[in-house]
Amino acid sequence: MELGPPGGAGPAEPGPRLRGLRGDDRAASAAWLSEASAGRRAPSVAAVLPAGGSGERMGVPTPKQFCPVLERPLISYTLQALERVCWIKDIVVAVTGENMEVMKGIVQRYQHKRISLVEAGVTRHRSIFNGLKALAEDQPNSKLCRPEVVIIHDAVRPFVEEDVLLKVAIAAKEHGCSDYDLEFGTECLQLALKYCHTKAKLVEGSPDLWKVTYKRDLYAAESIIKERISQQICILMDAKEDEEHVGRCLEEMLKKELNHVKVTSGALCHAGRDLQQIILEQCYNFVCVNVMTSDFEETRKLLNALEESNLSILYPVVVISVHFLDYKLVPFGQKMEHLMQIKEFAKEVKKRNILLCGLLIYYPQDEQKLQESLRQGATIIATLIKERSFGLVGQLMVA
C-alpha to C-alpha distances, 118 to 60, 97, 104, nearest whole angstrom: 25, 9, 11
Q: Is 195 found in the same domain as 47? A: yes
Three-state secondary structure call for residue 94: strand
More confident residue, 176 or 312: 312
Q: Is 206 found in the same domain as 246? A: no
Number of domain units in the chain: 2
Contact 283, 265 (CB under 8 A): no
- Going by C-alpha positions, the residue among 1, 87, 16 that lies closest to residue 282 is 16
pLDDT tens figures, 30-41: 565 566 555 556
CA angle 255, 260, 261 (to 5 degrees): 65
C-alpha to C-alpha distances, 237 to 341, 379, 385, nearest whole angstrom: 20, 19, 18
* Alpha-helical runs (H) found in the chain: 23-38, 74-83, 100-109, 124-136, 162-175, 188-191, 215-228, 241-257, 271-280, 297-308, 332-339, 342-350, 367-387
Q: Is 310 found in the same domain as 219? A: no
Per-residue pLDDT, averaged over 238-251, amounts to 76
Of 20-24, 153-157, 164-168, 242-246, the one with minimum mean pLDDT is: 20-24
Q: Which span out of 100-104, 138-142, 165-169, 249-253 was modeled with the highest average pLDDT?
A: 100-104
CA distance 399 to 73: 35
CA 159 to chain centre: 10
More confident residue, 2 or 223: 223
Please state whether beta strands 285-291 and 232-237 pair in parallel, antiparallel, or not at all (unpaired).
parallel
CA 48 to chain centre: 21
Q: Is 182 found in the same domain as 241? A: no
Query: Of 176, 207, 225, which residue is a domain's last?
Result: 225
Contact 232, 251 (CB under 8 A): no
Range of the domain at 298: 229-398
Q: What percent of the chain has pLDDT over 90?
A: 40
pTM of structure: 0.82
pLDDT tens figures, 51-75: 988 767 677 788 999 999 999 999 9
pLDDT confidence tier of residue 138, bands split at 50, 70 and 90: low
Q: Quote the pLDDT of residue 206.
A: 67
Three-state secondary structure call for residue 183: strand
CA angle 377, 229, 7 (to 5 degrees): 145
Q: Quote the pLDDT of residue 184.
A: 44
Q: What CATH number corresponds to the domain at position 352?
A: 3.40.50.360
pLDDT surpasses 70 at 330? no
Q: Is 249 found in the same domain as 190? A: no
Buried b (16+ CB within 10 A) or exposed e, 158-193: bbbbbbbbbbbbbbbeeeeeeebbbebeeeebeeeb
pLDDT tens figures, 104-128: 999 999 999 999 999 999 888 889 8
pLDDT tens figures, 192-222: 455 555 455 556 666 677 788 888 999 999 9
Q: Is 305 found in the same domain as 345? A: yes
pLDDT tens figures, 225-237: 999 999 999 998 8
Q: Is 286 found in the same domain as 213? A: no
Phi, psi of 164 (to 5 degrees): -65, -45
Q: Is 260 found in the same domain as 175? A: no
pLDDT surpasses 50 at 11? no
Query: Of 225, 255, 277, which residue is a domain's last?
Result: 225
Q: Quote the pLDDT of residue 231.
A: 93
Please state whether beta strands 88-95 and 115-119 pair in parallel, antiparallel, or not at all (unpaired).
parallel
Q: Is 180 found in the same domain as 159? A: yes
pLDDT tens figures, 367-388: 888 889 999 999 999 999 999 9
Q: Is 220 found in the same domain as 250? A: no
The neighbouring-strand residues paired with 202 are 181
Number of Cβ atoms within 10 Å of the Cβ of 43: 15
Q: What CATH number corresponds to the domain at position 206?
A: 3.90.550.10
CA angle 8, 12, 16 (to 5 degrees): 95
What is the amino acid identity at position 101? E
Q: Is 171 found in the same domain as 252? A: no
Q: Is 221 found in the same domain as 251? A: no
Q: Quote the pLDDT of residue 204.
A: 64
Q: Quote the pLDDT of residue 274.
A: 64
Using left for φ > 0, alpha for ψ between -120 and 50, and beta otherwise, residue 88 falls in beta
pLDDT surpasses 60 at 18? no
Q: What percent of the chain has pLDDT over 70?
A: 72
What is the amino acid identity at position 27? A
Q: What's the full length of the chain, in residues?
A: 399
The mean pLDDT of the chain is 81
Query: Of 198, 225, 252, which residue is a domain's last?
Result: 225
Q: Which residues contact 26 (CB under 8 A, 6 or more apart)?
A: none
Per-residue pLDDT, averaged over 312-336, amounts to 81
Q: 140: number of CA atoms within 13 Å, CB side?
A: 0
CA distance 158 to 96: 20
Three-state secondary structure call for residue 265: strand
